[in-house]
Each structure stands twice: as structure tokens, then as C-alpha cells.
Structure 1
Amino acid sequence: MQRNYWNLTFGIVWTIIFSGMSFYWAMGGLVGVRSLGGSIYEMSLNPSPSFLVIIWLTGFIKLLGLILLLTLLIEWKQPITIKTLYYVVKIVGTLLFLYGLLNFVTITLSTLNILNFDLDLYATFWRLIFWEPFWMIGGVFYFFSIKKIEQR
């Protein structure tokens, strides 16, 4: 398996930052949460125990991506393991990118009054300038962390 160590490293750092934000918010931190907007922001101001559990779980789920990327550093001998990792990483990268892209498109459509979202101007700005591109960049890091599978 040929790895792109730059993208792999950036993907690992991206994932740590991404999950770290959830853990920070789960511990009661509020910096940046207003930029998410909508009901998530409202719930974070006075979080219920179940909301906090969801935020903690979100952080741990995000860490699964770290485990996935770290498995790419292992020299696997079984071709099925190599192929499986290759396709899983490509699919995860594609899904991360598409999630950000589709959110970017729908939020843009809401700014044009084509769709109606419950996002204030502040949240809309940060979603378009930071959050959705952040998802897309993470997807690019994952997708390009593996160049190709070497044939044996």
C-alpha cells in the first residue's frame, strides 16, 4: 500500500482537532459553539444530560477515524486487509467531503432564500467560511492518504 504521508499526517492532526472540539464542548466549553448555530447552539447553552452524552459519543466516534488512519501505518501482509483499508479510507474520505459540500450548498441556497434554515447571519458566515470547508478538507486528507494498492 502506497501512502501519502503528508495527507496521512494532516488527516491525523485534523481528526485529533475535530474530536478535541467535541470533547471541549462536552466539558462545557462554549468557544466556537455559536458558529454552529440553530438548535445545537441553543441546546449547548443549557445542555441536558442526554445532550452531553451525545456530544461525548460524537467525540469518541470521531476518534474512530484516528484509529482508521493509524492502521494505515501498519505493514499488513494480508491482501484482503490492505484492500479493505484502502476502500474504507476512500469511502470515509468521500463521505466527509460530500457532507461538507452538501451542507455548503444547502446553506448557500438558504442565503439566497431558496431554502429556509434556522441559522443566523453569524452562524451562516462561519458555516460557509470554516465548518463546511473544514469537513471537506478532512475528506481530502482521508481520501488522499493512500495513493494506491501495490499488486503482489
Structure 2
Amino acid sequence: MSFYWAMGGMIGVRSLGGAIYEQALDPEPSFITIVWMTGFIKLLGALLILMLLVKWRESRIRMILYLIIKITGVLLFLYGSLNFITITLSTVDLLEFQLDSYATFWRLLFWEPFWMFGGIIYFFTINKAK
């Protein structure tokens, strides 16, 4: 999605809401650069998973890969869960967020659970470094 959005696609952008949606309506070059960078960072995550298929001779490489994947899984889960908590708190007026009801709905129903579930899957992709 990041690459699609970086090329100007608008499907799904409204569901992000807030400043991201406003920036997407009239993007500055720096914003487009950031969206491209997020796409490449996501590809890096896929590359790490693909590296699990390599039979590494050096046990340190396997251990480093193991730790990076475990830490990344935890961070992805925390990212989604903290966003979920803050958006939920904004729905009960304990925090002030500038998200419309459409974006709030999709962030709570899809985007934040997507990151949390993805973090769990990423974490459990590898069980141990052999």
C-alpha cells in the first residue's frame, strides 16, 4: 500500500485519517519521500523473514537474525496496541485526536489490529536460533 500511496493512489488513505490524510490530499515532496521510505522499510521486514530460509554456517548470524525478528515483532505489536489504546481513549474523550469517525472506525477495526496481529506472527515466525 505504501508504494501505491507514494505514487498518488488514494484508495484507503481516508481510513488513516488526521494529518496523514490531509497531507495525502496535497502532498509535499518530503511527505512522498517518507511514504516511499516506509514502503522500503516494510520490504526490509520481508527480507528478514526470507533470510530465515538461508542455511547460515555462522551461528552468530542466526542469533542476530533471531533477535532482530523477535524485537521487531514486539515493536510491531506495541505500535499497534499503543495506537489502539490512544485512539480508544480519544473515543471516550480522554484524549484529543483529530480523527473523524470514519478514520477512527477503520483504525480500530482494521489498521491497529493488523499491526498487532502482524507483530505476533512476525514474533512467532522463528522459534529458536539453531
Alignment partner of 2:7 out of 27, 35, 39: 27
Q: Which amino acid aligns with 2:40?
A: F
Aligned to 1:108: 88
Partner in structure 2 of residue 39 of structure 1: 19
Instruction: Kindly report which structure 2 residues correspond to 1:47-58, keeping only aligned pairs within 5 A, or say none.
Output: 47-58=27-38
Question: What is the deviation of 1:28?
Answer: 0.7
TM-superposed deviation, 1:149 = 2.5
Aligned residue in 1 for 2:50: 70
Matches within 5 A, 1:136-147: 136-147=116-127
Encode CA deviations 1:20-59: one digit per residue, 9 max, x unaligned: x000001110000000000100010111112111111111
Q: Tell me the amino acid that sits aligned with residue 128 of structure 2.
A: K
> TM-score, length-normalised on structure 1?
0.83
Q: Aligned partners of 1:148 and 1:54: how far apart in 2?
A: 34
Between stretches 29-38 and 53-62, larger displacement belongs to 53-62
C-alpha separation between the residues in 2 aligned to 1:50 and 1:104? 27
Note the aligned Cα RMSD (angstroms): 0.8
Work out which structure has the larger RCO, using CA pairs closer than 8 Å and 6 or more positions apart in sequence: 1
Deviates more, 1:42-51 or 1:27-36: 42-51
Counterpart CA distance in 2 for 1:147 and 1:48 is: 43
Count of residues in correspondence between the two structures: 130
Q: Which amino acid is 2:92 matched to?
A: L
Normalising by structure 2, what TM-score?
0.97
Show structure 1 runs of 4+ deviating over 3 A: none
- Rounded Cα–Cα distance in structure 2 between residues aligned with 1:82 and 1:135: 25
Any gaps of 5 or more consecutive residues in structure 2? Answer: none
1:93-144: per-residue Cα shift (whole Å, max 9, x none)?
A: 0000010000001100100111110101000000000000010111011100
Deviation at 1:147, TM superposition (A): 1.2
Q: Which residue of 2 aligns with 1:11?
A: none
